[in-house]
Structure 1
Amino acid sequence: MSEDLFRQSGPPGVTLPQEQPLPAEPPRVDAVPDDAQCRMLWDAYGMLQNIREHSELVACVATALAAAAAAAGLPVNVAEVRAAALLHDLAKTYTIRHGGNHCQLGGAWVQEITGNPALAQGVACHVSWPEPIDLRAHFLPLAIIYSDKRVKHNRLVTLEARFDDLLVRYGKTAYIRERIRESFQQAEAIERALAQTLGMKLHESTFGCGGLVE
């Protein structure tokens, strides 16, 4: 389920800042960009402030999960997971203004900019995962999906609170409501897999990223 399916403009009653043109040539960054390089890309692609705040919190959650996974012996590159989280909504501002799928577009941009297919996959698949849930084989995209689903705007919430909000804001048709429910079920399955593998109680964990908002 992607909000891009039914949102074609910015939030109701909100005037978007003047559009910034896409860069003719994006900044040069490493294959695994650090925080400063990720923020350079935010600037280059005109990311809105609220999306930056959301991305920072998603990255905090994802980094905590990646560090725990590495400590548990999973083959995880913590810096790579963090970069994917910081860049997961790189194309969101553009698609709010012009339509389109921010996952697919963002994944294409990240692949072109970094040449790193793992980062591109994490961005392209951060809304839903089309394969079985296997943390050892696919930790990065699964961690980004879960971390994104624990952050409502710029607040840390439970999965239930996040998806209740989606149903209220976007559940206008039976089809959309069913897609939201499917996405919630997948997020719950990822949460169970992470909790079991990492030995952590995740349902209301704050991950050291600030207080949980109910």
Structure 2
Amino acid sequence: MNIPSKKECFKLIKKMAMMDHIIDHSIMVSNVTLFLSLKLKKHFPDLDSRLAASAALLHDITKTRSFDTKENHSETGGLMLIKLGYPEVGNIIRQHVILDSYETDFPVSEQEIVNYSDKRILHNKVVPLNKRLEYIKLRYGSNKEFKDRIQIMWKNTLNLENKIFCQLDITPNQLSECISRKINKKDWV
């Protein structure tokens, strides 16, 4: 399996001219992903924390340009990483907005952790799930189709939260206390 290093991730982020606030968001998603995957590894030893953290760092790799192109950034970001020789990373990125499946009776996967972590970060802060999903409703829920999709996503994400946290010794509300709020890009390079 080919996984980009942190340095390689930041080279790609720079090449793609990601906006600073999207970089800050991505770093926090990666921090939460790394924390959760390391905690969950006790129960799911096959979890690859490095794979999950790299995919989380790159999950919005095409988001900046999507503001102009209107492309689906999860699809194009996933495809980009696949073409660069990182198919597992690309598959996780492709699923960071909507998972291919929501299965509660299978082990927690890297794509589930990245998907959930992204939904817990509002800008660059860990927030309760309902606060982030309210923001998503305000930002993207302008028509009925999107409102319906957001409702389904809300239900699926709550189930995913239960799946993740039933294995942990912390509650979802305690997650923000466990994650450093200080973003330091130089630590990642």
- On the 8 A contact 2:25/2:121 being kept in 1, the answer is yes
- Structure 2 residue aligned with 1:151: 121
Q: Which amino acid aligns with 2:90?
A: A
Map of 1:127-166 to 2, 5 A cutoff?
Answer: 127-134=97-104, 139-166=109-136
Query: By percentage of residues, which structure has more helix?
Result: 2
Q: Considering only aligned residues, what root-mean-square deviation do their CA atoms show, in Å? A: 1.9
Map of 1:36-55 to 2, 5 A cutoff?
Answer: 36-55=7-26
**Number of residue pairs matched by the alignment:** 181
TM-score by length of 2: 0.88
C-alpha distance in structure 1 between counterparts of 2:36 and 2:135, whole Å: 24
Unaligned runs of 5+ in 2: 182-189
Q: Which amino acid aligns with 1:149?
A: K
Q: Which amino acid aligns with 1:101?
A: N
C-alpha distance in structure 1 between counterparts of 2:18 and 2:50, whole Å: 21
Do structure 1's residue 194 and structure 2's residue 164 form an aligned pair? yes
Map of 1:50-89 to 2, 5 A cutoff?
Answer: 50-89=21-60
Instruction: Kindly name which structure, 1 or 2, has the bigger radius of gyration based on alpha carbons.
Output: 1
TM-score by length of 1: 0.78
C-alpha distance in structure 1 between counterparts of 2:50 and 2:86, whole Å: 13
C-alpha distance in structure 1 between counterparts of 2:149 and 2:155, whole Å: 10
Identical-pair percentage: 24
- Structure 2 residue aligned with 1:116: 86
Q: RCO greater where, 1 or 2, for CA within 8 Å and sep 6 or more?
A: 2
Q: 1:137 to 1:73 in 2, by over 3 A?
A: closer
C-alpha distance in structure 2 between counterparts of 1:87 and 1:81, whole Å: 10
Unaligned runs of 5+ in 1: 1-29
